[in-house]
Structure 1
Amino acid sequence: MNAEFLIVTLLVGLGTWLLRFLPTRFMRGTGDPDAPLSRFLAATGPAAIAALYVGASLPMLSPQLHVIAPLVLGSGAVTAIYFWRRDVSLATLGGAIVYGIVFGFV
């Protein structure tokens, strides 16, 4: 096994564990939404989603319209459905359906 791979795996595991452990340890009983840790944790979810979206979208980018049409229309559907209903699960499902339909026809 590669030593670098093992070190990176251990560091990522430690970071994940700390992100789950520290809030329960240091925010026990406070519940203050304006505390720095609360604001950090509130921003972690959207930041992770944005990073995953960019990482998944970059390989699909192309100057050819038929190649990026599923990505553009699926992303547009997610945005439109979210602003219409304010429901993340419905927006995600709708975007996946639009992406699949466009992908099937292009």
Structure 2
Amino acid sequence: MISWSVLVLALIVGGANWAFRVLPILLNRSRGLPGGAMGRFLSATGPAAIGTLFVASVLPMMQVGPWVPLLAGVAAVCGVFWASRSVVLATLAGSAAYGLAVAIGLG
């Protein structure tokens, strides 16, 4: 059975995540300049998400263990981002490379 504190924490984190994604869109009703504060903020969320995913995957691996899946994922993210400048494609490629490395037994 799930503890109430875990449920409350999940609801708080989910609400904050939703607000982080929806409020900038709702608050930006006008056509701002591409280099404006909101544009810079929204442009920074993609790299911030990649950094968050990187930290979340690296922290459990700080112990001695297999680094191949992590290195495959990081290499895929860096390579695809360098080639395409797309945060979405880089994130998908990194996830796919990490999952593939684990699936074939490298991790």
TM-score normalised to the size of structure 1?
A: 0.63
> Structure 1: 5+ residue runs without aligned partners?
none
Counterpart position of 1:93: 93
C-alpha deviation, 1:92, in angstroms? 4.2
In structure 1, C-alpha distance between the alignment counterparts of 2:72 and 2:52, rounded to whole Å: 19
Q: Does 2:71 align with 1:72?
A: yes
C-alpha deviation, 1:54, in angstroms? 1.4
> Structure 2: 5+ residue runs without aligned partners?
none
Which structure's residues are more often helix, by fraction? 1
Matched letter for residue 96 of structure 2: A
Which structure has the greater CA radius of gyration?
1
Give the 4+ runs in structure 1 shifted more than 4 A: none
Cα offsets for 1:52-74 (capped at 9, x unmatched): 1211122234556xx21332244
Counterpart position of 1:51: 52
Q: Which has the bigger relative contact order, CA under 8 A and spacing at least 6?
A: 2
The CA RMSD measured in Å over matched residues stands at 3.3
Percentage identity across paired residues of the two chains: 33
Aligned residues: 103
C-alpha deviation, 1:8, in angstroms? 1.6
Matched letter for residue 21 of structure 2: R
